[in-house]
A = this chain, B = another copy of it.
């Protein structure tokens, strides 16, 4: 259960490469589209990554959460901003998200150490 962000990062990259080399056009298009929606527009990248984090948390997907946490760190999200974001995810998604919140606190500390 403890999360190792370095392993997550490597596994993610390795499997994405395998998918992009082997999968058909439609899967590749989805991956392209998945990157595009987080690009800065009228809303900045930080806001979009925080939205991605909220969505991943209420849908309770640890790998998705990790990816957006990593991006949030690059966008200089502070601890306080992270907590305010988690408050919304926690209220909307309920106590069923608490195990994910535990993982987020653990992953966030690891990400900050790099």
Q: Given that A18-B105, A60-B61 are contacting pairs, would A55 and B90 also be in contact in the complex, using a CB cutoff of 8 Å? A: no
What are the residues of chain B within 8 A of A19 when measuring CB–CB?
101-102, 105
Partner of A33, one of B30, B56, B105: B30
User: Number of residues in A with C-beta < 8 Å to the partner?
Assistant: 67
CA–CA, A103 to B1, complex, Å? 14
Tallying the copies of this chain within the complex gives: 6
Q: Given that A11-B2, A42-B78 are contacting pairs, would A87 and B54 also be in contact in the complex, using a CB cutoff of 8 Å? A: no
A110 at the interface (CB under 8 A from B): no
Chain B residue with Cβ nearest A81: B42
A89 at the interface (CB under 8 A from B): yes
